[in-house]
Amino acid sequence: MTLKVHNTLTRDKEEFIPLDPPKVGMYVCGITPYDETHLGHGRAYVTFDVIRRYLEYSGFEVTHVQNVTDIDDKIIKKSREFRVTSHELAEKYTQSYFEVMDKLNVKRATIYPKATEHIEEMVGWIDGLIKKGFAYQLEDGVYFEVDKFEDYGKLSGKRKEDQESGARVEVKSGKKSPLDFSLWKKAKEEEPSWPSPWGEGRPGWHIECSVMSTKYLGEQFDIHGGGLDLEFPHHENETAQTEAFTGKVPWVKYWIHNGFVNVNRQKMSKSLGNFFTLKDVFEQFDPMVVRLFLLSTHYRSPINYSDVELSAAKEAYGRIVKFIEDIDFRLKKTTERASEIELEDIEEELGHFPDKLKASMDDDFNTAGAVGAIFEAIKFCRKTLGDGDVERECLETMKKTIIEMCEVLGLKVASRESRVTSHEIEKLIKEREAARKNRDFKRADDIRKQLAGQMIELEDTPHGTKWKAQA
């Protein structure tokens, strides 16, 4: 099966064939760093992290560009409230973003271009659009004239006539259409600004993505991604100004958009009071639990956040980790003696599960199906382990298979034991086993309580006593 991707531009699922294989250029709209990173960011950047990971797993060489909008009305407003410069505010929340994404195991992009570092190129583009007849100057800045671009609306599927009649954008004096959007904003008093032929000011939001994506990926590239809320007007406006400036059509071959995050069945919104930062969520749930939760729904579908859903993801993630812990425990106890079940007895069937994961991912990055394949593999391994003694090589292959399947999705599943192993804990467990053998149950119970106070949980099995650090 070949990889197929749902393309927003064509509203169809298409075979993925990059412009210059095996190279893939991918641009993802990044953050505006004026506040803490929230669940919506998590949804988007985990989605495109998995897409990148799978493309690389499939043999492609991905150049991943993700911008930072480090100058914006919201940044200016909040920097005044905090009495810091817009640069200081943007740097603070940009670093906070990286800290949160690192915990979610989101790979760093190839490059994170900042808007303020590309002002000169943006001024050049705007000047070029004016000269080509696609933009005009007003007292407060420069605007793109939507009516001059015949294909406006092709990405979102919205007709210009319908948009104009329902537009809630205030028509400014001299503005030719409510749909015309800002390319350059003249600076107001005490705002950060840069020089331009149209006066001191700063670029509009849309122009930065066109300029930075083409600078690092070329005038045409493979994938442009972002949240569904960016499809219109942001991505529509990007498309119009870029194709008008370069004359290259299509600018982007595949447009990919992820769905919204709902909270208790309502769209997440600060105004509704159901807004959650990822730092807040991490106080209750392990970041890998959050990642698994985000991957358990197809990226294009809305995802519902609630304590019930996160608790279910916690239980599911715990099942994966516990399986790895159980394998590690069996490996400690397993000798090289002959076993009833050898690797060749299960090798072929075990190999079906990575194939199932790949088939799901080849179908428009269906992470929900891929997660299902992981749990099918664990179920098969559990059943096999219950059928009789298993040779060491078989145990190692089971562990390797599950870990590699998880790695495709960016899930870290190292056993908790491997992170917290202590000689003292092992020593106390041996002392407890000796106490039980001598029927000194009080001492055995005291040791259990002592370890429980250190957040160490014991489990007595027919193969010996296991331990793990409590979550």
Shared domain check, 457 and 341: no
Tell whether 311 is covered by a domain. Answer: yes
Q: How does pLDDT run across 35-68, given as a tens digit for each residue? A: 999 999 999 999 999 999 999 999 999 999 999 9
C-alpha–C-alpha distance, residues 388 and 74, integer Å: 63
What tens-digit pLDDT sequence spans the chain (471 residues)? 799 999 999 999 999 999 999 999 999 999 999 999 999 999 999 999 999 999 999 999 999 999 999 999 999 999 999 999 999 999 999 999 999 999 999 999 999 999 999 999 999 999 999 999 999 999 999 999 999 999 999 999 987 776 765 454 455 568 899 999 999 999 999 899 999 999 999 999 999 999 999 999 999 999 999 999 999 999 999 999 999 999 999 999 999 999 999 987 777 766 666 778 999 999 899 999 999 999 999 999 999 998 899 999 999 999 999 999 999 988 887 766 556 667 787 888 999 999 999 999 999 999 999 999 999 999 999 999 887 778 888 899 999 999 999 999 999 987 554 444 456 777 788 889 888 889 888 888 888 877 775 557 888 887 688 777 665
Q: Is 321 found in the same domain as 430? A: no
CA atoms within 13 A on the CB side of 47: 29
Contact 398, 327 (CB under 8 A): yes
241, 144 Cβ separation under 8 angstroms: yes
Which amino acid appears at position 50 of this protein? Answer: V
Interatomic CA distance for residues 357 and 341, integer angstroms: 25
Q: Decide if 158 contacts 232 (C-beta within 8 A).
A: yes
Phi then psi for residue 74, to 5 deg, are -65, -40
Give me the torsion for CA of 420, 422, 427, 430, rounded to 10°.
30
* Domain presence at residue 288: no
**Residue 322 shares a structural domain with residue 453:** no
Tell me the pairing of strands 303-305 and 261-263.
Answer: parallel
> pTM for this structure?
0.86
DSSP three-state, residue 304: strand
Residue 87 in any domain: the answer is yes
Which of residues 415, 441, 459 is at a domain's end?
415
Q: Is residue 85 part of a domain?
A: yes
Number of domains the chain contains: 3
**Whether residue 224 is found in the same domain as residue 76:** yes
Contact 43, 262 (CB under 8 A): no
Question: Is 292 contained in some domain?
Answer: no
Q: Which of 372, 392, 415 is the last residue of a domain?
A: 415
What is the Cα–Cα distance from 344 to 334, expressed in whole angstroms? Answer: 18
* Residues 210 and 157 both lie in one domain: yes
318 and 202 within one domain = no
| 427 shares its domain with 400 | no
Q: What phi, psi does 90 have (nearest 5°)?
A: -65, -40
Q: Give residue 407's domain range.
A: 307-415
DSSP characters over 176-221: S-TT-EEEEEEPPTT---B--TT-SEEE-HHHHHHHHHHHHH-SSE
Residue 448: predicted pLDDT: 84
Residues 362 and 231 occupy one common structural domain: no
At position 446, the amino acid (one-letter code) is D
Report the CATH number that the domain containing residue 312 is assigned in CATH.
1.20.120.640
What is the reported pLDDT for 265? Answer: 73
Rg, Å, the chain Cα set: 27
Task: Kindly report the CATH number assigned to the domain that includes residue 138.
Answer: 3.40.50.620
Q: Are residues 228 and 143 in the same domain?
A: yes
CA–CA dist 88, 67 (Å, integer): 17
Asked whether residue 271 is assigned to any structural domain, the reply reads no
The answer to whether residues 75 and 192 belong to one domain is: yes
The residue assigned the tokens 């670029």 is 203
In a domain, 388, yes or no: yes
Alpha helices in 104-179 (DSSP H): 119-131, 160-165
Same-domain check for residues 189 and 211: yes
Structural domain includes residue 381: yes
Quick one: 102 and 119 in the same domain? yes
Alpha-carbon dihedral sign for residues 194, 196, 200, 201: negative
* 22 prior amide bond cis, ω within 30: yes
Give the model confidence (pLDDT) of 66-91 as tens digits.
999 999 999 999 999 999 999 999 99
Q: Which of 396, 415, 434 is the last residue of a domain?
A: 415
